[in-house]
């Protein structure tokens, strides 16, 4: 996924980050840990450059005070972190509801266009691939084009 | 889409707006100039909310608006002079699948007037679903409205095809129903299908469960009657949801019911479903209706002032849920966060999503009081509550509980 690349310039991958989490004192809360991982995944797709700082801060806080402290948004940073994750989820959801698809190429391709702020193109394409498995999905997000076919996503 | 189909969709989509699957229909809005975007014209697409909060668009449409019944609350009743239209099963299935393919809608809500008889109309509705499921291989969401007096076989077939089924009870008891729909038998035509659907849900069909709808105020029923039947339906019939629709006059001389009453009933309904409130926790006015002035949770908190203020670091989950301004999500956050961290600041609660202004008079943080009830409520409002009562104080037993 594209968010794997986001961490590369910090010499850290998304998987490195979530594997570090397992060493924390709160790992007994397995359900909380899964939610935290998923929130990190979404927060990293936010368009603002300070997403890395925010994620770093909440991981530090989670180590000190526990995952619940973050998931329950007790601190201002935790609130911001969850808000970032939420904004990404909202955009993905809005796109899946508001993109209008146009059947082209004798109804074998469904094409749609939408403006996105965050890096949600891949997630949106996946959604439509699941819904219309017998079609090729072509989605245009500004200058980026995503094409989903046979469980593969191509990006230009 | 042909003009004929488009016209049918306009008529039958608009006629379906009184059936609720989530949000109520909105009145038509006139644009001020040509630079507008969007339209809330009732052309059949309705936004419905899933239990996890997502909003999905459904094609809400009637199979036909021809109806042999003469129910006083219904715009499609036989005595009302309006243009009648019907979809053919193949026509409706094709229309829906084309809208679905273009992502205009994410599911279908299919209801109908009673043409000839209930079984005939239901057969056509079920036929539409069969075309969708088997000819077009449609695998998405279907909400099927069951018509009163439908046969067991047709309900069973519907249950195999639909994700959710519902039948409108319209009134909380047989006496009230007689006043607005004399030709319907409450037990045989309405409660019996509810029982059948419940059985299908238990057998693993109708995965999204069943719902129902009441018309509020059409037969002069009180909130107490509505809430008692609602509570009974949740507990005994395992309904997923009960909808309330404030009565809208459909002919001259009928009185409009304030939308705020519908809103208060929904608030009471949510308290019972998500806030661990029992029916007897709800506080009613002398006339057996909920207060229109103050929301039911605040009325409960003021009426039961002895239970508050609650210490936020020690209160049980049930008590947290009963604090005004604290919802189930916020209560869960408090409950979870305080296991690892003692809450000491009002700002922490604010971050967690608690409505501080409403919660302040009812909480203690680390033993410190945060506010006074007189800051959020007038003396007149407080005096009003002294005469309030609860539904169980209502002596007349509803038919369902006897």
One digit per residue, pLDDT tens: chain B, 402 residues? 666 888 888 888 777 777 766 533 333 445 445 444 334 343 455 666 655 556 678 888 999 999 988 888 888 888 888 888 899 999 999 999 999 999 888 889 999 999 888 999 999 999 999 999 999 988 888 999 999 989 999 999 999 999 999 999 999 999 999 999 988 999 999 999 999 999 999 999 998 899 999 999 988 899 999 999 999 999 999 999 999 999 888 777 778 889 999 999 999 999 999 999 998 899 888 888 999 988 999 989 988 888 889 999 999 999 999 999 999 999 999 998 888 789 999 999 999 999 998 999 999 998 888 888 777 776 666 666 666 766 554 444 445 443
Tokens (6 digits) for A92:
């993905």
Please tell me what DSSP assigns to residue B132.
I
Which of B52, B99, B351, B353 is best to mutate for the A interface (most A CBs within 10 A)?
B351
Give the containing element (helix H, strand E) for A16: helix A14-21
| Residue of B55, B103, B340 with shortest CB distance to A66 | B340
State how far residue A38 is from chain B, nearest Cα, in angstroms: 16
Tokens encoding B60: 């809400």
Decide if A103 and B337 are in contact by the 8 Å CB cutoff.
Answer: no
CB distance B278 to B272 below 8 Å: yes
Distances (CA, A) of A49 to A71, B133, B294, B352, B392: 22, 47, 45, 25, 58
User: What are the contacts of B376-380 at 24+ separation with CB within 8 A?
Assistant: B377/B294, B377/B298, B377/B302
What pTM was computed for the model? 0.81
Q: Which of B140, B340, B352 sits opposite A65 (nearest CB)?
A: B340
Q: Which residues of B281-295 are buried (b: 16+ CB within 10 A; e: fewer)?
A: bbbbbeebbbbeebb
Q: Is B54's CB within 8 Å of A26's CB?
A: no
Asked if B250 is an interface residue toward chain A (Cβ–Cβ < 8 A), one would say no
Q: B45, B320, B341: best mutation site toward chain A, by most A Cβ within 10 Å?
A: B341
Return all residues near A83 (Cβ < 8 A) that are at least 6 apart.
none
Q: Which of B101, B104, B313 to mutate to test the interface with A (most CBs of A within 10 A)?
A: B101
Q: H/E element holding A123?
A: helix A121-131
Chain A contact present for B364, CB below 8 A: no
Q: Residue A129 corresponds to which tokens in the numbers above?
A: 């691939």
| A93 interfaces chain B, CB cutoff of 8 Å | yes
- ipTM surpassing 0.85: no
Query: Is the four-CA dihedral B52, B58, B64, B67 of positive or negative sign?
Result: positive
Q: Would you give the distance in Å from CA B380 to the centre of its chain?
A: 32
CB contact under 8 A, A99 and B343: no
């Amino acid at each position: 996924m594209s968010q794997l690349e986001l961490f590369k310039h910090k010499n850290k991958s998304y998987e490195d980050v979530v594997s570090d989490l397992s060493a924390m004192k709160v790992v007994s809360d397995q359900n909380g840990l899964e939610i935290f991982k998923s929130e990190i995944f979404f927060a990293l797709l936010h368009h603002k450059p300070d997403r890395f700082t925010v994620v770093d801060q909440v991981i530090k806080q989670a180590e000190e005070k526990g995952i619940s402290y973050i998931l329950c948004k007790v601190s201002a940073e935790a609130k911001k972190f969850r808000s970032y994750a939420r904004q990404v989820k909202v955009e993905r959801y809005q796109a899946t509801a508001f993109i209008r698809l146009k059947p082209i190429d004798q109804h074998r391709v469904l094409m749609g266009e939408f403006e996105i702020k965050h890096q949600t193109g891949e997630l949106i394409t996946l959604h439509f691939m699941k819904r219309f498995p017998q079609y090729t999905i072509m989605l245009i997000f500004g200058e980026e084009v995503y094409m989903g076919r046979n469980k593969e996503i191509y990006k230009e | 889409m042909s003009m004929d189909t488009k016209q049918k969709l306009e008529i039958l989509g608009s006629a379906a707006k009184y059936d609720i699957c989530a949000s109520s229909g909105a009145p038509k809005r006139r644009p001020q100039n040509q630079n507008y975007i969007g339209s809330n014209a009732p052309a059949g697409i309705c936004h419905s909310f899933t239990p996890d909060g997502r909003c999905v668009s459904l094609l809400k449409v009637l199979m036909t608006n021809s109806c042999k019944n003469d129910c006083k609350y219904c715009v499609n009743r036989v005595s009302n002079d309006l243009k009648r239209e019907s979809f053919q099963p193949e026509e409706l299935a094709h229309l829906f699948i084309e809208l679905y393919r273009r992502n205009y809608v994410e599911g279908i809500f299919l209801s109908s007037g009673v043409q000839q008889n209930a079984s005939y109309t239901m057969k056509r509705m079920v036929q539409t679903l069969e075309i969708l499921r088997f000819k077009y291989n449609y695998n998405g969401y279907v909400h099927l409205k069951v018509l009163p007096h439908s046969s067991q076989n047709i309900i069973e077939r519907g249950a195999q095809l639909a994700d959710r089924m519902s039948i409108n009870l319209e009134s909380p008891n047989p006496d009230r129903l007689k006043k607005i729909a004399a030709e319907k038998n409450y037990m045989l035509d309405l409660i019996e299908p509810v029982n059948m659907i419940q059985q299908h849900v238990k057998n693993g069909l109708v995965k999204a469960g069943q719902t129902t709808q009441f018309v509020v105020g059409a037969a002069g029923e009180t909130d107490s009657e509505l809430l008692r039947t609602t509570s009974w339906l949740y507990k005994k019939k395992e309904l997923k949801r009960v909808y309330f629709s404030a009565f809208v006059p459909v002919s001259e001389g009928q009185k409009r019911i304030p939308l705020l009453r519908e809103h208060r009933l929904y608030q009471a309904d949510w308290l019972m479903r998500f806030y661990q409130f029992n029916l007897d926790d709800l506080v009613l006015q002398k006339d057996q209706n909920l207060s229109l002035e103050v929301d039911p949770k605040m009325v409960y908190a003021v009426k039961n002032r002895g239970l508050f203020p609650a210490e936020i670091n020690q209160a049980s989950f049930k008590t947290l849920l009963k604090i005004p301004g604290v919802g189930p999500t916020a209560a869960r956050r408090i409950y979870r966060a305080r296991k690892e961290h003692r809450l000491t600041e009002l700002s922490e609660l604010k971050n967690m999503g608690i409505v501080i202004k409403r919660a302040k008079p009812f909480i203690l943080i680390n033993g410190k009081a945060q506010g006074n009830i007189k800051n959020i409520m007038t003396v007149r409002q407080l005096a009003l509550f002294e005469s309030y009562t609860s539904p169980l104080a209502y002596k007349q037993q509803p038919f369902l509980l006897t």
